[in-house]
Amino acid sequence: MACNYVDAGMITKMFLAGAQNLEAQKERINELNVFPVPDGDTGTNMTMTILSAAKEVAALENPDMESVAKAIASGSLRGARGNSGVILSQLFRGFTKGIKNYDKVTIPVFADAFTKAVETAYKAVMKPKEGTILTVARAGADKAVQLEEEGEEDLEVFFREVIEHMDYVLGQTTEMLPVLAQAGVVDSGGQGLVEILRGAYDAFLGKEIIYEPVTMGEPVAATVALDEADIKFGYCTEFIVMLQEAIGQKKIEGLKKYLESIGDSIVVVADEEVIKVHVHTNDPGLAIQRALRLGALSNMKIDNMRLEHQEKLFKASEKQEEQKPEERPELSGKKDVGFVAVSIGDGLGRIFRELGVDYIIEGGQTMNPSTEDILNAIERVNADTIFVLPNNKNIIMAANQAGALAKDKNVIVIPTVTVPQGITAIITYVPELSVSENENSMLEEINRVKTGQITYAVRDTSVNGKEIHQGDYMGIGEDGIIAVNTNMEQTIFATVESIVDEDTELLSFYYGEEISEEDGEVLKEKMENKYPNLDIELQSGGQPVYYYLISAE
């Protein structure tokens, strides 16, 4: 018997099953990423985005269509990470606009909702590119409208044909973008979207699917109330390592010993395929970098325990103020202009703080912060106007989304795509100038900064005609991979040569956590010999994964 509508209960089941299927396929989707860099990948970002919404949906006791739609839209919007996560959240936002006013969702309603989803997502992207998740989503909407116009009434047929068409168009993305063709892969974001719909379809067909978000267990040690001064290690860091190959007890003990050297409250549980890690540390990047040697990471969660402690005190203070409003103190220390920056590494954090950044979001290339992370940072800065420096092209959309959600504050996102651009932006700021004048000067100056990043390849691939093998050193510029070599120094020199031109006056090197100051000084001396007319600066960045961040100005 044909089914011609679904209710709020079925929409809930389908959404949660879609989230679960995406989570299950996450690492396979990560492998589709063209650039073989050890950073936050599409599958991870999309999964964290949808799981943020899934938690809100799963918490609904008696869901109706409006409450389900609100939970999906709000949860994904705030949990969005990376460009793929932001686009996914916009697809959900548009889709839920189409279904929220109906008790029963029929094929015409689905067709309209799919169309609204695509329209909303396309509007959110400044320069939409075909061959991406947007193309696959539009194919689904087009097929849905076609089936509706043809009079299709059976939802089972409708869902099956929409997904089959999306999967077909997904296969065509390999030829739509040259970079995908060279790597021989389909678009990772589009693959993620198809996996969500496949999971939803399975739930519609009645397959038994239990939504169980993967979470880390609580640490063995009991939780006790602490004064902030007693918090020796400020970041509660949790993640799962998906092992590349089976490892022995010696490597597991080596990981434990290393974690003990940088923190406490260590919990390491391993089997043949995964390692679950929990550690309190002052530098989550160190734990992440060490774990990346063993495999890909998933379910990463970093909480600032000092901020949580402060927030508890703040909430307690708010409660007291509500009880005695006449004794409520006036806000103090308010500024006209404040700064929020995304960065990771003690050295880079110190540089930003010294330059006047009010709030640093721990994250970046190795871990894209969510829209909510950025929004929380904005709300914590006591200023009328706040400049946000994403410092990564994969964070700009989430920053813009956070700015749109911020209340009673003028939020200006400076589209810095690298940390050196962020440093240049804040150096450019002049308090005596107006907000608009500062915005214009920042935008002008960051465009004069050329950046290179030195890291390593995590898998074999081919990008822009360059054959890359796992373990190779790579120099990455703003437009892609500049240099590949088995020798780090040769990679660095090739990268610098490509970003230096006749207008360059200053070369800055920020060395990462795996590079010693002595090695950095040796490199600086060699650069001074090769470029005697340039000023060469060397600073400790402390960033994970990237051996050097280089800027030419």
pLDDT, averaged across the chain: 85
Mean of pLDDT values over 271-290 = 79
**Which pLDDT band, with edges at 50, 70 and 90, does 357 fall under?**
very high
| pLDDT at 317 (0 to 100) | 42
Among the ranges given (267-271, 346-350, 445-449), the one the predictor scored with the smallest mean pLDDT: 267-271
Mean of pLDDT values over 30-44 = 75
Mean of pLDDT values over 482-490 = 94
Percent share of the chain, pLDDT over 70: 88
Sign of the Cα torsion 27, 31, 37, 43 reads negative
Distance in angstroms (rounded) separating the CA atoms of residues 81 and 361: 13
Pairwise pLDDT comparison (71 vs 322), residue with the higher score: 71
Contact 392, 364 (CB under 8 A): yes
Is a pLDDT exceeding 90 seen at residue 290? no
| pLDDT at 210 (0 to 100) | 53
**Which pLDDT band, with edges at 50, 70 and 90, does 333 fall under?**
low
**Which pLDDT band, with edges at 50, 70 and 90, does 280 fall under?**
confident
Among the ranges given (47-56, 207-216, 256-265, 267-276), the one the predictor scored with the smallest mean pLDDT: 207-216
Looking up tokens 């929990």, which residue turns up? 278
For residue 304, the surrounding DSSP H or E stretch is strand 295-304
For residue 453, the surrounding DSSP H or E stretch is strand 450-456
| pLDDT at 437 (0 to 100) | 96
pLDDT tens sequence across 202-241: 999 998 665 443 333 332 222 223 344 445 677 778 788 8
| pLDDT at 328 (0 to 100) | 30
Please give the radius of gyration of the chain, using alpha carbons only, rounded to the nearest integer: 24
| pLDDT at 211 (0 to 100) | 41
Pairwise pLDDT comparison (289 vs 65), residue with the higher score: 65
Residue 67's contacts (CB-CB under 8 Å, 6 or more residues apart) are 8, 60
Is a pLDDT exceeding 90 seen at residue 256? no
The residues that bridge with 341 in the sheet, in sequence order, are 360, 389
Mean of pLDDT values over 531-540 = 94
**Which pLDDT band, with edges at 50, 70 and 90, does 306 fall under?**
low
Phi–psi pair at 452, nearest 5 degrees: -130, 145
Is a pLDDT exceeding 60 seen at residue 181? yes
Distance in angstroms (rounded) separating the CA atoms of residues 496 and 511: 14
Is a pLDDT exceeding 70 seen at residue 117? yes
| pLDDT at 270 (0 to 100) | 66
pTM of the model: 0.73
**Which pLDDT band, with edges at 50, 70 and 90, does 143 fall under?**
very high
Residue 326's contacts (CB-CB under 8 Å, 6 or more residues apart) are none
The CA-atom distances, in angstroms, between 521 and each of 345, 506, 541 are 19, 16, 14
Distance in angstroms (rounded) separating the CA atoms of residues 428 and 442: 6
**Which pLDDT band, with edges at 50, 70 and 90, does 307 fall under?**
low
The CA-atom distances, in angstroms, between 27 and each of 40, 352, 369 are 11, 34, 19
pLDDT tens sequence across 60-71: 988 999 999 999
Burial class (CB in 10 A: 0-12, 13-18, 19+), 306: middle
Looking up tokens 């860091």, which residue turns up? 237
**Which pLDDT band, with edges at 50, 70 and 90, does 1 fall under?**
low
pLDDT tens sequence across 403-449: 999 988 999 999 999 999 999 999 999 999 999 999 999 999 999 99
Contact 468, 457 (CB under 8 A): yes
Mean of pLDDT values over 310-334 = 42
Cβ count within 10 A of residue 276: 17
Pairwise pLDDT comparison (303 vs 377), residue with the higher score: 377
| pLDDT at 226 (0 to 100) | 35
| pLDDT at 321 (0 to 100) | 41
| pLDDT at 284 (0 to 100) | 82
